C-alpha cells in the first residue's frame, strides 16, 4: 500500500447504486488506510467534525494537502458521533449569530459539496417558554436575531400546538407552555454522514486519516515553561502511539480532551470537561415534526426519520471523563419529557450514552492562535459544537493558511479571558445545543 496517491472517489448517486447493484460491485474505500509518515505540513489532532472539516477546507480552499488527521480511536468516536445533531443559528449575541448562520449556510449545500447525503432536515427548532422570565429571554433572542436577518420569532401556544400536537399546551399546572421561540431554519442532520463526508472529501484531495493513532505528547522548543514548552515556544511536532511526527503546525481539535492536549504544548485553557448524556427510544411512527427544547425542564427532543425519539439534557454538574450513562439522568429525563408530552409513557428507552463536553465560562469556543507558535486550537465546543463544524473548519483553515485570524472568529480568541471580553452565550446555549 506504499504508494501514496490521491484516490479518485466514485461519485455517489442513485444511478451508481443501481449499476453496482446489478454488477454486484462494491464501492471503493471512503478513505485510504496508509502508513504514517515522518512529517507533515499540518497535523490535526482529533478526527471529529472539527478536525475533519479543518482538513477538508485546508485541502479544498487553500490547496494544503500534506495534512494528517490523527485520532486515538475511530473517526467520529468523540462528541461528533455522540451528539444529538441539532443545528440552528438563533443564538443570543451578534458574534454568535453571524458565526452559526455561516455554518447553517454550509450545511445547506453540504450534501452536494461532499457528494454525500448528510440528511439535513430543516424541520424547525422550537424553544419553549414556561415562565414569563423565559418568554422574555425568547423575545430577547428573537429581537437580536431579527436585527441580524435570522428567521426567528416568538410564537403563542396555539401555534406551538399546531407545530407539535404531542405537546401539552393546556394550562398545565407545573410547566405551562406560554410560548416558544421558533426558528424554522433549525433542524437536525445525520452526524456520522457529516464526519464521513468530510473524511472522504479530504481523503480525495490527499489528506491522510490515521485512526487508532493516539497523540502522547507535543514537542515544543523555546517556550518559557518546562521542556521548552509554553508561551513563547514554537511547535516542532507530535509523538504518537505509532511514532513521532514533525510538523510546523499542530491543531488541537479534541473537544472533551482539549486540555489534556493543550497541556502537552504548555498552553492552559479555561476549559473544564463534563459529560453530557443523551438517550434514544425505540422507533414508533413519526409524530413529532420539529425539534423541541425546554430550558426549564432541561430537555430537548427530536424524532429521527426512523421514528426514534432522541433526547438530550444539560451537562452533568461535575467534571468527569467518564462516558457511562447514569440512572438518574434517565429518570429525570423521562419525568420531564412526560411533563411535555404526557401521551408517550409507553414508549421505551432503548439506549443511553454520554459524551464529553469541553465547557468554557462563556459558552463560546476558543479558536485560533495560542501563545505557542504553530499550535492552534479549535476547542471549547461544549454542548453546541456539532453545528459549528463546517464554519469552524473553514475559518481554521483560513487561519492556518494565511496566518491571520478571520473576522468571524476574532471574538473567540483565547486572549479574551485575560482581557475580560467574554461572549455572552450562556443564556442561549445552556440546554439549547
Which 214-243 residues touch ligand FAD, going by CB under 6 A?
Answer: 214-215
Q: Which three cell numbers stand for residue 38?
A: 515522518
Q: Exposed (0-12), middle (13-18) or buried (19+): which is 66, by Cβ within 10 Å?
A: middle
Nearer to ligand FAD by C-beta: 85 or 118? 85
Q: Which range touches ligand FAD (CB under 6 A), out of 68-76, 127-135, 170-178, 222-230? A: 68-76
Q: Which three cell numbers stand for residue 262?
A: 493543550
Tell me which residues in 293-312 interact with ligand FAD (CB under 6 A): 312
Site for ligand FAD (CB under 6 A): which residue of 65, 84, 259, 281? 84
Which of other proteins, ligand FAD, none interacts with 276 (beta carbon under 5 to 8 A by kind)? ligand FAD
The closest of 258, 219, 220 to 48, measured between CA atoms, is: 258
Kindly state the helix (H) or strand (E) to which residue 65 belongs, with its residue range: none
Binding flag, residue 102, ligand FAD (CB under 6 A): no
Task: Quote the least distance from Cβ 243 to ligand FAD, whole Å.
Answer: 13
Which of ligand FAD, other proteins, none interacts with 4 (beta carbon under 5 to 8 A by kind)? none
Which of other proteins, ligand FAD, none interacts with 331 (beta carbon under 5 to 8 A by kind)? other proteins
Binding flag, residue 394, ligand FAD (CB under 6 A): no
Task: Quote the least distance from Cβ 373 to other proteins, whole Å.
Answer: 28
Q: Which range touches ligand FAD (CB under 6 A), out of 3-11, 73-81, 226-234, 397-405? A: 73-81
Which of other proteins, ligand FAD, none interacts with 420 (beta carbon under 5 to 8 A by kind)? other proteins
Q: Which range touches ligand FAD (CB under 6 A), out of 17-25, 60-68, 81-89, 112-120? A: 81-89
Site for other proteins (CB under 8 A): which residue of 57, 91, 120, 398? 120
Chain centroid to CA 287: how far? 26
Q: CB-based contacts of 88: which residues, under 8 Å, 6+ apart?
A: 100, 104, 125, 183, 185, 186, 187, 291, 387, 432
Which of other proteins, ligand FAD, none interacts with 127 (beta carbon under 5 to 8 A by kind)? none
Specify which residues 154 forms β-bridges with: 181
> Nearest 5°: CA angle at 322, between 319 and 328?
85
Q: Which three cell numbers stand for residue 32?
A: 485510504
The closest of 178, 182, 166 to 340, measured between CA atoms, is: 166
Binding flag, residue 256, other proteins (CB under 8 A): no
Binding flag, residue 54, ligand FAD (CB under 6 A): no
Binding flag, residue 36, other proteins (CB under 8 A): no
Burial of 17-40, coded b for 16+ CB within 10 Å and e otherwise, reads eeeeeeeeeeeeebbbebebeeeb
Binding flag, residue 185, ligand FAD (CB under 6 A): no
Map grid coordinates 465547557 to a residue.
359
Distance in angstroms (rounded) separating the CA atoms of residues 379 and 180? 30
Tell me which residues in 306-325 interact with other proteins (CB under 8 A): 306-307, 324-325
Tell me which residues in 364-393 interact with ligand FAD (CB under 6 A): 381, 383-387
Binding flag, residue 189, other proteins (CB under 8 A): no
Kindly state the helix (H) or strand (E) to which residue 144 belongs, with its residue range: helix 132-147
**C-alpha separations of 264 from 80, 218, 241, 423 in Å:** 23, 5, 15, 27
Binding flag, residue 35, other proteins (CB under 8 A): no
Which of ligand FAD, other proteins, none interacts with 9 (beta carbon under 5 to 8 A by kind)? none
Site for other proteins (CB under 8 A): which residue of 3, 26, 226, 403? 26
Which of other proteins, ligand FAD, none interacts with 177 (beta carbon under 5 to 8 A by kind)? none
Distance in angstroms (rounded) separating the CA atoms of residues 68 and 76? 16
> Contact letters (x/-) for other proteins, 282-311, by CB under 8 A?
xxxxxx-----------------xxx----
Specify which residues 309 forms β-bridges with: 303
**DSSP code at position 410:** G
Tell me which residues in 64-103 interact with other proteins (CB under 8 A): 73-77, 81, 94
Burial of 359-387, coded b for 16+ CB within 10 Å and e otherwise, reads bbebbbbbbbbbbbbbbbbbbbbbbbbbb
Tell me which residues in 153-172 interact with other proteins (CB under 8 A): 165-166
CA end-to-end span of the chain = 42
Kindly state the helix (H) or strand (E) to which residue 67 belongs, with its residue range: strand 67-70
Site for other proteins (CB under 8 A): which residue of 5, 22, 318, 403? 22
Specify which residues 303 forms β-bridges with: 309
Site for ligand FAD (CB under 6 A): which residue of 44, 59, 71, 233? 71
Interacting residue ranges for ligand FAD, rule: CB under 6 A: 45-51, 70-73, 77-80, 82-86, 214-215, 253-257, 261, 276, 278, 312, 355, 357, 381, 383-387, 433
Amino acid at each position: 500500500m506504499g504508494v501514496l496517491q490521491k484516490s479518485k472517489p466514485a461519485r455517489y448517486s442513485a444511478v451508481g447504486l443501481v449499476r453496482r447493484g446489478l454488477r454486484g460491485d462494491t464501492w471503493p474505500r471512503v478513505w485510504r488506510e496508509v502508513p504514517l509518515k515522518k512529517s507533515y505540513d499540518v497535523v490535526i489532532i482529533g478526527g471529529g467534525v472539527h478536525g475533519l472539516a479543518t482538513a477538508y477546507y485546508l485541502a479544498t480552499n487553500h490547496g494544503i494537502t500534506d495534512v494528517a488527521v490523527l485520532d486515538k480511536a475511530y473517526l467520529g468516536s468523540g462528541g461528533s458521533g455522540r451528539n444529538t445533531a441539532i443545528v440552528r443559528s438563533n443564538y443570543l449575541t451578534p458574534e454568535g449569530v453571524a458565526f452559526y448562520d455561516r455554518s447553517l449556510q454550509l450545511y445547506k449545500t453540504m450534501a452536494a459539496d461532499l457528494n454525500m447525503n448528510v440528511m439535513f432536515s430543516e424541520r424547525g427548532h422550537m424553544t419553549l417558554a414556561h415562565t414569563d422570565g423565559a418568554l422574555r429571554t425568547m423575545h430577547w433572542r428573537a429581537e437580536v436575531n431579527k436585527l441580524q436577518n435570522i428567521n426567528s420569532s416568538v410564537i403563542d401556544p396555539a401555534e406551538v400546538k399546531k407545530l407539535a400536537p404531542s405537546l401539552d399546551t393546556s394550562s398545565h399546572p407545573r410547566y405551562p407552555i406560554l410560548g416558544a421561540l421558533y426558528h424554522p431554519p433549525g433542524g437536525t442532520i445525520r452526524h456520522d454522514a457529516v464526519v464521513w463526508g468530510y473524511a472522504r472529501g479530504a481523503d480525495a484531495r490527499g489528506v491522510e486519516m490515521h485512526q487508532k493513532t493516539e497523540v502522547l505528547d507535543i514537542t515544543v522548543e523555546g517556550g518559557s515553561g518546562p521542556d521548552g514548552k509554553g508561551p513563547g515556544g514554537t511547535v516542532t511536532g507530535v509523538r504518537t502511539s505509532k511514532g513521532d511526527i514533525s510538523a510546523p503546525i499542530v491543531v488541537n481539535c479534541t473537544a472533551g480532551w482539549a486540555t489534556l492536549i493543550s497541556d502537552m504544548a504548555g498552553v492552559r485553557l479555561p476549559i473544564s470537561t463534563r459529560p453530557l448524556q443523551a438517550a434514544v427510544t425505540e422507533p414508533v411512527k413519526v409524530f413529532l415534526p420539529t425539534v423541541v427544547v425546554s430550558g426549564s425542564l432541561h430537555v430537548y427532543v427530536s424524532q429521527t426519520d426512523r421514528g426514534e425519539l432522541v433526547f438530550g439534557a444539560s451537562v452533568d454538574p461535575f467534571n468527569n471523563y467518564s462516558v457511562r450513562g447514569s440512572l438518574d439522568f434517565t429518570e429525570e429525563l423521562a419525568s420531564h419529557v412526560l411533563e411535555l408530552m404526557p401521551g408517550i409513557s409507553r414508549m421505551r428507552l432503548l439506549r443511553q450514552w454520554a459524551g464529553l463536553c469541553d465547557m468554557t465560562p462563556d459558552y463560546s469556543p476558543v479558536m485560533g492562535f495560542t501563545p505557542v507558535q504553530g499550535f492552534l486550537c479549535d476547542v471549547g465546543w461544549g454542548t453546541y459544537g456539532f453545528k459549528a463544524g463546517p464554519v469552524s473548519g473553514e475559518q481554521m483553515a483560513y487561519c492556518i493558511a494565511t496566518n491571520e485570524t478571520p473576522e468571524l472568529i476574532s471574538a473567540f480568541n483565547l486572549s479574551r479571558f485575560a482581557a475580560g471580553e467574554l461572549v455572552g452565550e450562556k443564556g442561549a446555549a445552556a440546554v439549547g445545543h
